[in-house]
A = this chain, B = another copy of it.
Amino acid sequence: MAKKLHYFDVNGIGESIRYILHYGGQKFEDVRYQISGWPDKKVKDALPFGQLPLYEEGDRSLHQSLAIARYVASQSKLLPNDLWEQAVVDSYVMTIYDFWFTKVIPFVKETDAAKKATLKKEILDESIHFFFSRFDKVLKEHNGFFIGKLTWAEFILVGIIEAGNLFLDYEIEKNYPHVKAAVQKVLSLPGVKEYIAKRKVYAL
């Protein structure tokens, strides 16, 4: 069945899905929308809840980035079989998203320059350490992976770090050696590596 991923022409919360698809050798049409032209009313009104990404497989479609990522991960052999292991992976994925949606996104959306600077300072001085020191510890204790082997959680980690670094003009992973190693590991994976070599450099 023909696969299509619809998302903006940035990394954001869509790039992890692209990495997972490329890692699994899944052929898909990478449909991209320019943020400068968004919202495109015709496209937005056709989306189930007005949001990208949207994933299509034949005549069926799926919304919500984590629902899509988890599904394509199952097709790329990145979802463990054991239900408890799946749940532990889910818990880290959702915590990575907590960092994104409760810290980075409020900063991105803030339009008042002084408040924006305050939010950035809080992220750089506190939030990054709170989340990433804990991720680092978990990765250290589990052979470089969240549960001791490669799953889709490492892909979500890398996607959010890259998008965060772009918005914050920072290197989130710099003080966390096990996080940094996980990023390098994912970016060097077969399929991912070749995709990155051909991919444009994202900019704001």
Is the pair B90, A70 in contact by a Cβ cutoff of 8 Å?
yes
Q: How many angstroms between the C-alpha atoms of A185 and B88 in the bound complex?
A: 30
Give which listed residue, B67, B74, B75, contacts A88 with CB less than 8 A. Answer: B67
Residues on A lying within 8 angstroms of B by beta carbon are 48-50, 57, 60, 62-64, 66-68, 70-71, 74-75, 83-84, 86-88, 90-91, 94-95, 98, 101-102, 130-131, 134
This chain: copies in complex: 2
The answer to whether A90 and B67 touch (CB under 8 A), given A60-B84, A101-B101, A134-B49, is yes
Give which listed residue, B84, B88, B90, contacts A66 with CB less than 8 A. Answer: B90
Q: How many angstroms between the C-alpha atoms of A63 and B131 in the bound complex?
A: 14
Q: How many angstroms between the C-alpha atoms of A83 and B70 in the bound complex?
A: 9
Q: How many angstroms between the C-alpha atoms of A102 and B97 in the bound complex?
A: 13
Across-interface contacts of A134 in B (CB, < 8 A)? 48-49
Across-interface contacts of A74 in B (CB, < 8 A)? 83
Within the complex, the shortest CB–CB distance from A136 to chain B, in Å, comes to: 13
Across-interface contacts of A102 in B (CB, < 8 A)? 101
The answer to whether A62 and B48 touch (CB under 8 A), given A74-B83, A84-B71, A101-B101, is no
Q: How many angstroms between the C-alpha atoms of A148 and B70 in the bound complex?
A: 22
Instruction: Name 29 interchain pairs, CB-CB below 8 A, sorted by A.
Output: A48-B91, A48-B95, A49-B95, A49-B98, A49-B131, A49-B134, A57-B84, A60-B84, A62-B87, A62-B88, A62-B91, A63-B91, A63-B95, A64-B90, A64-B91, A64-B95, A66-B90, A66-B94, A67-B87, A67-B90, A67-B91, A67-B94, A68-B87, A70-B87, A70-B90, A71-B83, A71-B84, A71-B87, A71-B90
